[in-house]
Structure 1
């Protein structure tokens, strides 16, 4: 399966390839075909085996865990897990915990490398607020050095199940998960995770919202 956001890029590269093939221009044809293949690879959207467990939070992104910390947003405590995606990762994001989307804020910004500590403060991003049965959760889709657009598939008021496709970030980027403190984090920095499959944390019933 291919994410729908990739079709303009894929079709454009394919059209360029065939136009250049008719001319022909060998090197330009090769470049067009390379772009076509690259866009097909980048916008792939594979099915995932969602873990059939209760009281878990799955990763919202493919990539590497680059930061784990306890933090506060608007006076609410969270356990934050940041996952960095490189150009070779699947960039379709998944919902970490089931819940109702209460607010989506798009924040324009810069495009510094997404693995930098200041990227969540400076870069273009979507901030998605979710009410879950465990408390409030926030998912941040953060653009990176190459990324230029964050896309959320859902709207305020929608109920989303964990593991559902949440959106996509075009090219390398990161996802920050702000989980309720009633969850224990099960991953560590440097771990490689898959969106919708890897379990980031488990609900313990302690710590409150």
Structure 2
């Protein structure tokens, strides 16, 4: 288990705040054992929460040209045909994964290929499960073209708690299946848009793991 680089600053600030609060509590309220222990316990929970959120487990990815891997840890909350209006401008099969604050929040590429399109959109911070969050919230849109010409669009979407989306890709970059392409801080969602007719291997409510769970499969190529 590793600690993700995106959490270094947050962890340092958390340790500093905890140290100051505990020092002041010990100095001014050392005669109040109950208050002192409450502060110690809350401080411990805060640090554990930060470490839990920014953990970065090592994943062994089993790539497959026909496979579409899950881009994030979380729960499948949407599987439906929709009109994708930003890039494809036609009907696509949307799968959405909701990440709670306790999930691993690194995002992984569902397929291997070349990044054909990238765009960052500033926006609102609606709850991540709100259908409008896909088009109104802060988000990125990434399209990767596979070696056999099929394009997959995936979108990082900030939620009510998430206030920063991080990405590590740009147009023209080659990505490997299961490699990290970004990170979203404190609760969020990732949408994946697939060609109509793609075989889907998950169902609503399934708990999934980024880079491990197979969302679906392309037709034989």
Same fold (TM over 0.5): yes
Which residues in structure 2 correspond to 1:27-176 (within 5 Å)?
27-73=38-84, 74-132=88-146, 133-176=148-191
Partner-residue secondary structure (3-state), 2:56: coil
Structure 2 unaligned blocks of 5 or more? 27-35
Q: Output the CA distance in 1 between the equivalents of 2:105 and 2:63.
A: 23
**CA deviation string 1:45-90 (max 9, x = no partner):** 1111312433100000111111112233333442211111111111
Corresponding residue for 2:203?
Answer: 188
Larger deviation, residues 104-113 vs 169-178: 104-113
Partner-residue secondary structure (3-state), 2:55: coil
Partner-residue secondary structure (3-state), 1:168: strand
- Contact conserved, 1:134 with 1:182, CA < 8 A, in 2? no
Partner-residue secondary structure (3-state), 1:23: helix
Q: Output the CA distance in 2 between the equivalents of 1:111 and 1:193.
A: 24
Aligned Cα RMSD in Å?
1.9
Q: Shift of the alpha carbon at 1:205?
A: 4.1
Q: Output the CA distance in 2 between the equivalents of 1:149 and 1:23.
A: 31
Structure with higher Rg: it is 2
Q: Output the CA distance in 2 between the equivalents of 1:53 and 1:168.
A: 23
